[in-house]
Structure 1
Amino acid sequence: MSYAQLFSRVKPVERLTDESSHTALSRTLGLLPLVALSVGATLGTGIFVVLAEAAPAAGPAVIVSFVLAGLAALCSALSYAELAGSVPVSGSAYSYAYATLGELVAWICGWCLLLEYGVSVAAVAVGWGGYLNEFLRGTLGMTIPDALSAPPGEGGIVNVPAVIVVLLATAVLMMGVRESAAVTTFTTLLKLAVLVFFVCVALTAFRSENLTPFAPLGIAGISAGASAVFFSFIGFDAASTAGEEARNPKRDLPRAIMLSLVIVTLVYVVVAFAAVGAVGTDVLGGSEASLATALEIVTGQGWPAVLLAFGAVVAIASVVLTVLYGQTRILVSMSRDGLMPAKLSAVNRRAVPAHNTMIVGVLVAILASVVPLSSLADATSIGTLVAFGIVNVGVIVLRRRKPDLDRSFRTPLMPWVPLLGVALCAYLILGLDWVTWLVFGIWTAVGLAVYLGYGVRRSKLNRAESA
């Protein structure tokens, strides 16, 4: 077999579907927990944390940046929805790429997803510490010292709150998927209630002059803002990682993906509009806990900010939980295919991939403890955009190769919507700085080395063909 044939071999859809029907994981999730999983994995980080990073670049037009990023996510969400309904397995984009574009592309996609999920969890954990300090300041009149709440380079030694929230989420995941889903649903509803409270209070202080000049840096500022806040939409695909734990995956996965993206985009735009109109982008850009600061300025009292900070502490922790869940399930699929060690797909009596979960939790906790938020957010965005681009190409390929495949959802306006998704992903990638490209290039090179040195020989597809 030539190298071209070796790297481009695909795993048949029928085989993927058969494996998922004999999964060792437990099918317990209905539509509501799946929507809560995707919303819980998405909603929080961008509006609670990354808004402060994007506001200075885009100005009041950060509202448009959220819309642009949402449109880019929509095209990819439509492709995800079709593939999730056609190939209802746990591997998300990795499994879709394996069924359409071949093993090498699938590996690269899976490796990008590991970057996306692992680094985004670390970024969320870092942002969680800012709101924890805000809550402690408002209730106890104290904060955690910078040395123990900030990474090296930002005045600290190690970010202890980030480590704590990752390890707590890991402990919840070890309890089982049903228990994790119950925690996720509760915290997601709490998160939505806190943001509704913020909008109601912020709109009472709305001033139109805070929206001018609307786009001080023009299209370039809006684009830079969209590239930054795209990080906020990462997670709408989380339901696709639960393909083997959903009771009716072909029906519920596409619905959960689309519903979650609509909910998240609407909330982001409304909250950004209310925040900018109330205090302006200068204030938002000057605080890591930007929404809590905005409430304190608007009301002149401390309790609304404390309430919001408490909601953020609980709600952002749910993002850590749900994204950690997604990463462990992707590793299960890669391990089951032989591209990762077999222990990563072994489950315990609670149907939890225990070795996998503990390893991921410890590694992410270490990452969150020492790396700054801005670096983590950009690294997450580029990994996600590459994975989204692969999914958009994959849905076109599968339509051509398997036109008669049973699809519970079909992407409209084929192939234009997926092609637009690819173009928008490429556009947003170009808006990221060269350091992010450098980190991604090093990560990809390491991934290729691991694949060529380990995965390509141990691949179960390779063994089957050799036999």
Structure 2
Amino acid sequence: MTVEPSARSAHHSAGVEAETVDAGYLQKRQLQTGTAGWVLLAGLGVAAVISGDYAGWNFGLAEGGFGGLLVAVVLMAVMYGSMGLGLAELGSALPTAGGGYTFARRALGPWGGYATGVAVLIEYAIAPAAIATFIGAYVESLGLFGLTDGWWVYLAAYALFIGVHLLGVGEALKVMLAIAAVAVAGLVLYLVGAIPAFDSGNLLDIAPTDAAGASDFLPQGWLGVWAAFPFAIWFFLAVECVPLASEEARDPARALPRGIVAAMGVLLVLAVLMLVFTAGAGGSEAMSASGNPPVEALEVAGASDALTDVVNYAGLFGLVASFFSIIYAYSRQTFALSRAGYLPRSLSVTNRRRAPVLALLVPGAIGFVLSLTGEGAMLLNMAVFGATVSYVLMMVSHIVLRRREPELHRPYRTPGGVATTGVALVLAAAAVVATFLVDVEAALWTLAAYAVFLAYFALYSRHHLVASAPEEEFALLAAADEEVR
């Protein structure tokens, strides 16, 4: 790859420079276009989240009790639903693999775009590491393959599913959809066993504390609702990855909104059912510390061993579905940031199947190393922190673009406009703060990683952006339109 020195120009404010690269640069960095319809996109969204229905959310019962977690789930559902509608508009207007980074780049400039992209990347690079530790625990508890040491499982999971992604996006998304379907079927079977055992008295079996506003419904008071936010997020975390498939979608202007809305609909129904009937069958207090709430709730309810075993195995499929799909998400975010020069350019080179090889391998290697810590809960809290920061920046981007570029072609428009994304923005900001209420260490580690990325941009990559990358061209066209007006 060669750079034309004369083409270097400080055409952005804040000292950011872009370079013109040779014609072959983008030819080596092409994804497989026109591959995914709205069903596969919806499957991507559901698959990314589905593991959160099996475990993790229940720890919010300890923070806020049933009532506190229920209120938190409703508020986070409003946040994700509103954000999803905003992202559907942005994705249809600016369909590139950069997702949130693309939107923020157009609205907030290169610094804002990079800050958003890094927050998204932190979320997606760390979440699979956390899920890998949970997969290891499941495999060991089920006695599969005679394994007793989790790191073999972590390595096998990364190697196998990165390998599938290297075969191409069409194959990967179809496998992903099939695994997610098994996981959803497992939840349905679980509910068949849990619903008959429902006892409303089990919902409120956590004794109230002396916190402000405490009651049987809110045993930890109103602050417990806030502290439950990060766990309510587990019912929806990573559904926002759907726009990252924009370049590989068929007719993204139609497929993206349909895919996001369909995924959110499925996830919302599952979130309410899992919270109500798991706490109702197993008891809120017992489920608040459970490592496998569906299975333990069925055991309390006296369900058959056969049903319990099926649900246990389905939980493993749920973890695999989320692990598999979030690998896709981190690879596309890495690919887009690299293609535009924000990260090392070698990370965005694709193979003959149009899969970004190093964008799959490098974050995967980092995630594998992180999984060896065994700190699954802390890693997931780190991912939640990165996610909530990106939500704030993406919603600000929607509002800025609505105000500044009302004439931007938007094949899909968010119902309610900036009022809708404004609600998501307020709730996302509250969720950022809530992460500190739950795990200060995780939040501080994530901030440290964030600072390292920002330092790289400040010291190097902001002087070496690629002018012909789609996200940079979008920004240049917008700037040219501003000058004409």
- Provide TM-score, normalisation by structure 2: 0.85
Displacement of 1:54 in angstroms is 1.7
Q: Which residue of structure 1 aligns with residue 3 of structure 2?
A: none
Q: After TM superposition, give the deviation of residue 24 of structure 1 in Å.
A: 4.0
Structure 2 unmatched ranges of 5 or more: 1-8, 20-25, 205-215, 477-485
In 2, Cα distance between the equivalents of 1:337 and 1:187? 33
- Is this contact kept in 2: 1:127–1:288, CA < 8 A? no
Letter in 2 for 1:191: A
Matched, 1:124 2:127: no
**CA distance in structure 1 between the partners assigned to 2:464 and 2:79 by the alignment:** 36
Corresponding residue number in structure 2 for 1:291: 294
Does the residue aligned with 1:411 lie in a helix, a strand or coil? coil
Q: Deviations over 1:311-341 (max 9, x none)?
A: 1112210111111101111111111111112
Counterpart in 2 of 1:113? 120
Aligned counterpart, 1:443: 449
Q: What residue number does 1:153 align with?
A: none
Out of 394, 399, 404, the residue aligned to residue 397 of structure 2 is 394
In the alignment, is residue 456 of structure 1 matched against residue 456 of structure 2? no
Query: Which residue matches 2:54?
Result: 48
Aligned 1:38-437 pairs, distance under 5 A: 38-44=45-51, 46-61=52-67, 62-136=69-143, 144-145=147-148, 148-149=149-150, 159-212=151-204, 213-433=216-436, 434-437=440-443
Tell me by how many angstroms 1:366 deviates.
1.5
The 8 Å contact of residues 95 and 252 in structure 2, kept in 1 or not, is answered as: yes
Once the two structures are superposed, what CA deviation does each residue of 1:345-386 show, in whole Å capped at 9, x if it has no partner? 111111111122122222211112214122112111111111
Aligned residues: 441
C-alpha distance in structure 2 between counterparts of 1:50 and 1:228, whole Å: 7
Q: Deviations over 1:45-74 (max 9, x none)?
A: x22121232222122222332222111212
Say whether residues 1:6 and 2:22 are aligned partners: no
2:228 counterpart SS class: helix
* Residue of structure 2 in register with 1:15 after alignment: none
In structure 2, what is the Cα distance between the partners aligned to 1:116 and 1:195?
Answer: 25
Q: Distance in 1 between matches of 2:83 and 2:313?
A: 33
* C-alpha spacing 1:457/1:247, structure 2 compared with 1 (3 Å): same
Contact map agreement 1:379 1:440 (CA 8 A) in 2? yes
Please say if residues 208 and 277 of structure 1, whose CA atoms lie closer than 8 Å, have aligned partners that are also in contact: yes
CA distance in 2, matches of 1:388, 1:113: 9
Note the alpha carbon deviations across 1:8-29, whole angstroms, 9 max, x for none. 8999xxxxxxx89x94433211
Structure 1 stretch 28-37 or stretch 429-438: which is displaced more?
429-438
- Residue deviations 1:254-280 (CA, integer Å, cap 9, x gap): 211122112101101111111000011
Contact 1:58 1:221 survives alignment (8 Å)? yes
Using the size of structure 1 for normalisation, the TM-score is 0.88
Give the alignment's Cα RMSD to 1 decimal: 2.5
Alpha-carbon distance in 2 for matches of 1:436, 1:9: 34
Give the Cα–Cα distance (whole angstroms) in 2 for the partners of residues 130 and 292 of structure 1: 14
Please give the alpha-carbon distance, in whole angstroms, between the structure 2 residues aligned to 1:53 and 1:314: 21
How far did 1:125 drift? 1.8
Superposed displacement of residue 393, structure 1? 0.9
1:408 is paired with a residue whose SS is coil
Mapped partners of 1:8, 1:412: distance in 2: 35
Q: Secondary structure at the match of 2:410?
A: coil
| Residue 99 (structure 1) shift | 1.1
Distance 1:291 1:40, change over 3 A: same
1:247: Cα distance to partner? 1.2
Gaps of 5+ in 1: 12-18, 150-158
Range with bigger deviation, 306-315 or 405-414: 405-414
Contact 1:10 1:98 in 2 (8 A): no
